[in-house]
Amino acid sequence: MAILSFIYVNNLDMFISYLRKFDIDVYEYGHTVLLDSSEYVMLICRKNGKVMAYIAVHYIDTHYAALINLKEDAQDREIIEALLSVEKNRIWKVPVEPIIYIADDEFINIINKYIDEVPIEASIYL
């Protein structure tokens, strides 16, 4: 049976890593950057080829932090430099609202045990 619900997640990368520990493959289905520089992604979770869940996530990440710190009249070059300056090994992704999902019972049992915290670097942007 499929259930529509939500879960509070503070660290998107940690959440995806947690799912992978249960042999769940997580695929990005669609992604967009919104006007406020936050992002929205649809994820599909599969195990043994079977779809377990569809997940909708609205989040901010390290790139959001780089952009939000720019002056309002920043030039294109400044924007590109800010985005490229993000250190690949220091990237964080933090949902800004509960994650919405449609999932089967097995997936729900797995995520009901999940807990995390907001990455320290991200806390000032929430």
Q: Is the C-alpha dihedral spanning 37, 9, 6, 101 positive or negative? A: positive
The string of DSSP codes covering 57-101 is EEEEEHHHHHHHTS-TT--HHHHHHHHHTS-GGG--EEESSPEEE
Q: What is the pLDDT of residues 3-55, one digit of tens each?
A: 999 999 999 999 999 999 999 999 999 999 998 889 999 999 999 999 999 99
* Per-residue model confidence (pLDDT) at position 89: 62
Structure tokens at 73: 């009249």
Q: What pLDDT shows up at residue 55?
A: 98
Q: What is the pLDDT of residue 88?
A: 66
With DSSP H G I counted as helix, E B as strand and the rest as coil, what are the percentages for the chain, rounded to 5? 35, 35, 35
Longest dimension (CA), the chain: 51
Is 68 a residue whose pLDDT tops 80? no
Rounded distance between C-alpha atoms, residue 117 and residue 72, angstroms:
31
Span 45-72, average pLDDT: 90
pTM: predicted TM-score of the whole model, two decimal places: 0.84
Measured distance CA(88)–CA(82) in Å, rounded:
13
The yes-or-no verdict on residue 85 having pLDDT over 80 is no
